[in-house]
Structure 1
Amino acid sequence: MSSLKLCRLISDGAVLQRRKSIHIWGWDEAGMQVTIKLENDITTAMCDASGRFDAYLPARESGGPYKLVVVDDKGEKVIVENILVGLVWLCTGQSNMELPLARTKDQYPEVVASDENDRIRTFKIVEETCYTGPYEELNTGSWVSVGRDTIMNLSATGYFFGKHLQELTGQPIGLINASLGGSRIYSWMSKEMLEGYDDLLEIAGHYADSSFVEGQIKKNIENGDKWRGDLYKADKGISEKWHEDKLDISGWTDHKVPGFFKGTELDGFIGAVWFRREFDLPKELAGKQARLFMGTMVDSDIIYVNGQKVGETGYQYPPRKYDIPKGLTREKKNTIAIRLTVETGMGRFTENKELKIFNKDAAVYLDGIWKCKIGATAEEIPATDFINWKPTGLYNAMTAPCHNFPIDGVIWYQGESNVEDGYDYADFTERMVGGYRKAWKEENLPFIAVQLPNFVIDQLPRTDDWGQFRLTQNKILDMPMTGLVVTMGLGEDNDLHPVVKEPVGERLALCAAHLKYGFNGEYTGPVATSALMDNGEITVNLTHANGLTVQDAGKGLELQDFYVVDINGKRKKAKARLQDSSVVVESPFSEDKAKRLCWLSENTYHGGLITNSTGIPMSPFDLAIE
Structure 2
Amino acid sequence: MKVIKIGISLIILVNAAVNAKVILPPVIDHNMVLQQKTNAALWGKASPAAKVKITTSWNGKSYSAQTGSDSLWRVSVSTPAAGGPFDITFDDGEKLILKNILVGEVWVCSGQSNMSMPVKGFKNQPVAGSDELLQQAENPNIRLMQIQRQYSVKPEFDGKVIPWTAANMQSVSEFSAVGYIYAKILQEKLKVPIGIIMTAWGGTKIEAWMSPGSISSLSFIKQPLIKEKTKISHNSPSVLYHAMVNPIAGYAIKGIIWYQGEANRSNYQQYDQLMQAMVKGWRKAWNIGEWPFYYVQIAPFKYDGTNNSAFLREAQLKASALIPNSGMVVSLDVGKEAFIHAPDKVTIGKRLSLWALANNYGMTQLAHASPVYKSIHIRGDIVEVDFDHAINGLSTFGKDLTGFEVAGMDKEFYPATAKITSKGVKVFNEKVKKPVAVRYAFKDWVIGSLYNTEGLPVSSFRTDTW
* Shorter-chain TM-score range: 0.7 to 0.9
Aligned to 1:128: 150
Q: CA deviation at 1:465?
A: 0.4
Superposition deviation, residue 536 in structure 1: 2.9
Letter in 1 for 2:115: M
Counterpart residue number, 1:388: 234
> What is the rounded CA distance, in whole Å, between the counterparts of 2:265 and 2:160 in structure 1?
31
CA distance in structure 1 between the aligned counterparts of 2:397 and 2:188, rounded to whole angstroms: 26
Tell me the equivalent position of 1:537.
382
Q: Deviations over 1:240-275 (max 9, x none)?
A: xxxxxxxxxxxxxxxxxxxxxxxxxxxxxxxxxxxx
Query: Mapping of 1:66-105 within 5 angstroms?
Result: 66-72=86-92, 74=93, 76-103=94-121, 104=126
Matches within 5 A, 1:419-434: 419-421=265-267, 424-434=270-280
Change (3 A) 1:442 1:46: closer
Q: CA 1:623 to 1:127, structure 2 compared with 1: closer, same or farther past 3 Å?
A: same
Distance, in Å, in 2 between the alignment partners of 1:147 and 1:588 is: 58
CA distances 1:97-138 after superposition (whole Å, capped 9, x unpaired): 00011114663321123421111111100111111x211333
Q: Which consecutive aligned stretches of 4+ in structure 1 deviate over 4 angstroms post-superposition? A: 196-200, 587-591
How far apart are 1:192 and its partner, in Å? 1.2
Matched with 1:559 is 401
Please tell me the residue identity of whatever aligns with 1:572: Y
Q: Does the Cα contact within 8 Å between 1:97 and 1:156 map onto a contact in 2?
A: yes
Which residue pairs with 1:46 in the alignment? 66
TM-score, normalised on structure 2? 0.88
Is the 1:191–1:201 contact (alpha carbons within 8 Å) kept by the matching residues of 2? Answer: no
**Greater Cα offset, 496-505 or 559-568:** 559-568
Q: Is the 8 A contact 1:564 1:588 kept in 2?
A: no
Question: Secondary structure at 2:437's aligned position in 1?
Answer: strand
Question: SS at the partner of 1:149?
Answer: helix
Note closer, same or farther for the CA distance 1:164–1:200 as it changes in structure 2 (3 Å cut). farther
Matched residue, 1:14:
32
Structure 1: distance between partners of 2:80 and 2:436: 55
The code of the aligned residue for 1:491 comes to G
**1:618 aligns with one of 446, 458, 462:** 458
Structure with the higher strand share, 1 or 2: 1
| Runs of 5+ consecutive residues of structure 2 not aligned to the other structure | 1-18
1:402/1:200 Cα in 2 relative to 1: closer, same or farther (>3 Å)?
farther
* TM-aligned CA distance change 1:34 to 1:101, over 3 Å: same
Match of 1:169 in 2: 190
Task: After superposition, give the CA deviation of every residue in 1:443-496 in whole Å (9 maximum; x if it has no partner).
Answer: 42211111011100xx23x42301121111101111321111000121111011
Task: Give deviations 1:522-542, integer Å, cap 9, x for gaps.
Answer: 113333322112243222223
Q: Equivalences for 1:56-205 in 2 at 5 Å?
A: 56-72=76-92, 74=93, 76-103=94-121, 104=126, 107-131=129-153, 133-195=154-216, 196=218, 201-202=223-224, 205=226
Q: Report the AA paired with residue 158 of structure 2.
A: E
Q: Size of the alignment, in residue pairs?
A: 437
Give the direction of change, closer, same or farther, for the CA distance of 1:200–1:176 in structure 2 (3 Å limit): farther
Structure 2 counterpart of 1:582, from 405, 409, 424: 424
Deviation of 1:586 after TM superposition, in Å, equals 2.1
Task: Supply the distance in 2 between the matched residues of 1:494 and 1:11 (Cα, whole angstroms).
Answer: 41
The amino acid that maps onto 1:162 is A
1:105–1:112 CA contact under 8 A, matched in 2: no
Tell me the residue number matched to 2:8: none
Larger CA deviation: 9-18 vs 434-443: 434-443
State the SS of the aligned residue for 1:56.
Answer: strand
> Within 1, Cα distance between the matches of 2:264 and 2:334?
20
Deviations 1:337-359 (Å, cap 9, x if unpaired)?
A: xxxxxxxxxxxxxxxxxxxxxxx
Shift of 1:618: 1.1
Deviations along 1:179-234, whole A, 9 cap, x unmatched?
001111001012111115686532x626x317x56xxxxxxxxxxxxxxxxxxxxx
| Cα distance in 2, alignment partners of residues 531 and 105 from structure 1 | 39
Q: 1:602 aligns with which of 439, 443, 462?
A: 443
> What is the aligned-residue identity percentage?
29
Supply the AA of the counterpart residue of 1:503.
Answer: T
Partner of 2:372: 527
**Could you say which residue in structure 1 is the equivalent of 2:261?**
415
Report SS of the residue matched to 2:166. Answer: strand
CA distance in 2, matches of 1:530, 1:79: 59
Q: Helix, strand or coil: the match of 2:273?
A: helix
Q: How does 1:327-342 map to 2 (within 5 A)?
A: none
Aligned CA distance change for structure 1 residues 422 and 485 (closer, same or farther; 3 Å): closer
CA distance in 2, matches of 1:441, 1:83: 23
Distance 1:509 1:577, change over 3 A: same
Are the equivalent residues in 1 in contact too, given 2:128–2:345 (CA < 8 A)? Answer: no
Larger radius of gyration: 1
TM, length-normalised to structure 1: 0.66
Q: CA 1:47 to 1:443, structure 2 compared with 1: closer, same or farther past 3 Å?
A: closer
CA contact (8 A) 1:522 1:614 kept: yes
Letter in 1 for 2:204: S
Tell me, yes or no, if the aligned pair for 1:9 and 1:141 is still in contact at 8 Å: no
Alpha carbons of structure 1 residues 180 and 484: separation in structure 2 relative to 1, 3 Å = same
For residues 352 and 178 of structure 2, what CA distance do their matches in structure 1 show? 9
Q: Name the amino acid aligned to 1:487.
A: S
Segments of 5+ residues of structure 1 without an aligned counterpart are 214-386
Residue 144 of structure 1 aligns to which amino acid in structure 2? T
